[in-house]
């Protein structure tokens, strides 16, 4: 491909990941962990960083191996590559950030089954070169992280009266316990998907 074409392909990859094919509101992938880990901004950032790392690493490995991977062994290859990087993230958090590891606990392990990573591996990394795959991984990972971040800001402010542990609500504020629990996540994520889909529709009309 010539210069301008590559450039427009790069733009497309980025825009698709960040907005048009947004993994959460457009493809509805990764919902499980988005609900579970969005009760505090700190957890959302840690989870997002973990997912971005695993996605980029998986993107690099899969796109480098894409000509060697036997067609019928694709899924198991994704699984073992993703699982290895997830275990690395888990051990790293346990060793250097024990407090964060404790609060997001089992969900780090569940990055393995985060459909965004499997989905992008099958849809993108297996067919594209390493540069494009890294971009795609970054775009999708950042999408996932900013979505978690937005939901977490709403939930932490209403459910705990804080942002990143700092008090933002007045002293008389009564915490909405429901926001700290699972149902709150459904409400906020539902609203988020409604708003973003309405915006996306207005754009395409």
Applying CB under 8 A, the residues found at the interface with another protein are 39, 65, 68-70, 72-73, 76-77, 80-81, 84, 87-88, 91-92, 94-96, 98, 159, 175, 177, 180-181
Reference 133, options 118, 115, 120; nearest CA is 120
- Shortest separation between residue 145's beta carbon and another protein, angstroms: 22
Compare residues 27 and 118 and give the one whose CB is closer to another protein: 118
The helix/strand/coil state of 167 is: strand
- Shortest separation between residue 138's beta carbon and another protein, angstroms: 23
How far apart CA 129 and CA 28 sit, in angstroms, is 26
- Shortest separation between residue 41's beta carbon and another protein, angstroms: 15
Query: Are 176 and 188 spatial neighbours (Cβ–Cβ below 8 Å)?
Result: no
Compare residues 81 and 111 and give the one whose CB is closer to another protein: 81
Compare residues 3 and 70 and give the one whose CB is closer to another protein: 70
Compare residues 111 and 142 and give the one whose CB is closer to another protein: 111
How far apart CA 109 and CA 159 sit, in angstroms, is 26
Query: Are 31 and 189 spatial neighbours (Cβ–Cβ below 8 Å)?
Result: yes
How far apart CA 101 and CA 99 sit, in angstroms, is 5
- Shortest separation between residue 194's beta carbon and another protein, angstroms: 26
- Shortest separation between residue 7's beta carbon and another protein, angstroms: 34
Positive or negative, the CA dihedral 26, 144, 39, 104 is positive
**Residues β-bridged to residue 167:** 162
CA 77 to chain CA centroid, Å, is: 21
């Amino acid at each position: 491909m010539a210069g301008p074409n590559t450039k427009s392909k790069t733009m497309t990859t980025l825009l698709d990941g960040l907005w048009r094919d947004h993994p959460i509101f457009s493809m509805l992938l990764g919902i499980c962990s988005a609900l579970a880990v969005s009760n505090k901004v700190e957890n959302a950032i840690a989870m997002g960083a973990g997912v971005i790392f695993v996605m980029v690493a998986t993107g690099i490995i899969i796109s480098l191996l894409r000509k060697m991977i036997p067609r019928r062994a694709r899924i198991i290859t994704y699984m073992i590559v993703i699982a290895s990087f997830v275990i690395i993230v888990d051990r790293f958090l346990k060793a250097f950030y024990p407090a964060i590891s404790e609060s997001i606990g089992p969900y780090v392990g569940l990055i393995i089954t985060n459909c965004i990573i499997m989905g992008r591996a099958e849809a993108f990394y297996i067919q594209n070169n390493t540069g494009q795959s890294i971009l795609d991984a970054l775009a999708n990972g950042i999408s996932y992280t900013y979505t978690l971040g937005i939901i977490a800001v709403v939930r932490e402010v209403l459910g705990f009266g804080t942002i990143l542990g700092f008090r933002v609500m007045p002293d008389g504020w009564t915490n909405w316990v429901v926001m700290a629990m699972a149902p709150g996540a459904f409400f906020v994520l539902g609203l988020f998907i409604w708003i973003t889909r309405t915006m996306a529709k207005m754009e395409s009309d």
